Amino acid sequence: MAEWQLTRTYRSASGEVRWDSLGEPGRAAVVLNHGTPFSSYVWRAVARSLARRYEVFVWDMPGYGTSRMSAGQDVSLAAQGKVFTELLEHWGLAEPRVVAHDFGGAVSLRAHLLHGARYRSLTLIDPVALAPWGSPFFRLVGKSSDVFEQLPPALHRALVREYVTSASNPGLHPAVLDRLVQPWLGDPGQAAFYRQIAQADQRHTDEVEDRYGEIAVPTLICWGEDDTWIPVAKGHELAARIPHARLELIPGAGHLVQEDTPAELTAALLDFLD
């Protein structure tokens, strides 16, 4: 836990957001957006590497990681897109370089296309962007979240561990797996885990999917070649929809590219961001 801590707080409409920055203040800004069911913790290696050249901003979305989790909380893509837009203003970032993974990709796309957030560049890593999305497990839980929420803690823990493990191709180090699972255990973590799945409505990407052709900023799309959560074919389709987007496939990586191949991902990011 001590190896990655977010020390600052922003009070959003969806609850307290924990965030932090790395690197020398005033340098060109890079913002890293995490996916689900993860947190900024998955960016730790990449963030520290990028901080040698950039000021890097990281945050846990409301309902995730160390940010506030509460009953009735709005953690939908619609809410997160608004919170991200607010955060950019709070940080005073006019045109940051945005790097977004999974669910964070949809958050970044909505903020840009619907809320006017301006980026210097956009990197999307195995993003939730094109319908249909969501694994069979994800859809099953979404339909019966109230039932899953009542699972005995031991069964819930086993389910979350198996689910998170499946995001990696080579497999996660036990300590890393424990850290990724920990926020979803106990009260209110267990309820928050099923809440974020129940609110993951595809209509929030349907609303912007036809507008990807409007994206005019330089765009890099990275995709783990062995992603079993969102097939690499979606990467090719998304790259064809965004004008002049470049697709880079990452061999050996599953959906959780930051954990599977952090060096390769960082190299691709530095080449693009520079």
Mean pLDDT, each 10-residue run in order, the chain (274 residues): 86 96 98 98 98 98 98 97 98 98 98 98 98 86 89 97 97 97 97 95 96 98 97 98 98 98 98 95
User: Is the pTM value of this prediction over 0.85?
Assistant: yes
Handedness of CA 79, 84, 85, 89 (dihedral sign): positive
The answer to whether the beta carbons of residues 104 and 123 sit under 8 Å apart is no
Strand pairing class (97-101; 29-33): parallel
For residue 249, the tally of other CB atoms under 10 A from its CB is 16
Token pair listed for 89: 């203003």
Token pair listed for 54: 């950039």
| Residue 135, pLDDT score | 79
User: Packing angle between helix 153-165 and helix 174-181, nearest 10 degrees?
Assistant: 120
For residue 65, the tally of other CB atoms under 10 A from its CB is 26
| Residue 1, pLDDT score | 45
| Residue 2, pLDDT score | 54
Nearest to 83 by CA among 7, 18, 13, 8: 13
Reading phi first (left if > 0) and then psi (alpha if -120 to 50, else beta), residue 134 is in left
User: Packing angle between helix 103-114 and helix 77-91, nearest 10 degrees?
Assistant: 70
For residue 26, the tally of other CB atoms under 10 A from its CB is 7
